[in-house]
Amino acid sequence: MNEIELVQNLIEMVNKLPHRDNQKLDALIKRAEMIIRNVFGESSKYLKDLSRIRFYPMVYPADEQYYNEIWLSGRNEMLNLFNTMLEELKLFGPSSKAGKVQKTDVKLSKQIFLVHGHDDAMKQAVARTLEKIGLEPIILHEKPSEGRTIIEKFTDYSEVSFAVVLLSPDDIAYPKDRSPKDAMLRARQNVIFELGFFIGKLGRNRVLVLYQEEENFEMPSDYSGVLYTPYDSSGRWQFDLIKELKACGYDVDANKLL
């Protein structure tokens, strides 16, 4: 397929998308992100536009009608976005230099923001991995405060091109209308806040979420399209991290891990 046909195929996929089929939606979003990166470049505004489309309500619980309205609104936004992409390609040609210049002109920061909870071993393992491949992990509590508030310090150090978010089972919680037997493990609330912040700032394709596989661990439900990668004892997560960094344009070498 040429570039125009690829985008036309995305439009067809949206039109055929089953109502509230999360699995097919995730597959469509990941395909769209890959096509946008390849056709329009890593810094394309279309990636950010895609990451802002919501298919789920921000507040729970919500009634069935509201769920349906949000889903249909998200579907229409996605369809409009892909049609805009198609029009640009038709106007400027399949080999439009605009997107390709963007791709080569992007200057990626070697600083990688590391969002973490209370699992120090997990944090240290990821930080050392980033250092081995020539990147600088930003761990907020290790940086000087210089009289700043926490949120000021956070925003000052958030000027990065990629973030790794660690979800570890640090808290236990359950809805107030249920009993303690319904309690589930979950990540710290500051971690979830920072996850949302970086998704909004960088886009889904520049945020990698590593999570610990543990029974009864509650994963965030609102972030369709985010790549969740298990933090496994075999170390496969390290190569998944490198793969995602490479997809974003980082020149990293997996051999440095050996």
**Predicted local confidence at residue 199, as pLDDT:** 86
Task: List the domain range (segments joined by +) for residue 177.
Answer: 107-257
**Predicted local confidence at residue 41, as pLDDT:** 81
pLDDT in tens, 132-175: 999 999 999 999 999 999 999 999 999 999 999 999 999 998 88
Scan for tokens 């950010």, then name that residue: 48
Neighbours of 115 (CB within 10 A): 28
Q: Could you report how far apart the first and last alpha carbons of the chain are, in Å?
A: 38
Same domain, 147 and 219: yes
- Across 73-84, average pLDDT: 92
Domain end call among 83, 104, 125: 104
- Across 8-24, average pLDDT: 91
Q: What is the DSSP string of 83-144?
A: HHHHHHHHHH-TT-HHHHHHHHH----SEEEEE--S-HHHHHHHHHHHHHTT-EEE-GGGS-
Same domain, 131 and 187: yes
- Across 182-186, average pLDDT: 90
Same domain, 15 and 84: yes
Same domain, 166 and 115: yes
Give the C-alpha separation, 127 to 113, whole Å: 10
Please, which contacts does 84-92 make with residues 24 or more away whose CB atoms are closer than 8 Å? 84/46, 85/7, 85/10, 85/36, 85/39, 85/40, 85/46, 86/4, 86/7, 86/8, 86/11, 89/3, 89/4, 89/7, 89/39, 90/4
Q: How confident is the model at residue 100 (pLDDT cuts 50, 70, 90)?
A: very low
Query: What one-letter code names the amino acid at 213?
Result: E
Q: How confident is the model at residue 94 (pLDDT cuts 50, 70, 90)?
A: low
Q: Which of 39-43, 47-51, 95-99, 190-194 is most confident?
A: 190-194
Domain end call among 81, 104, 127: 104
Same domain, 13 and 91: yes
pTM: 0.62
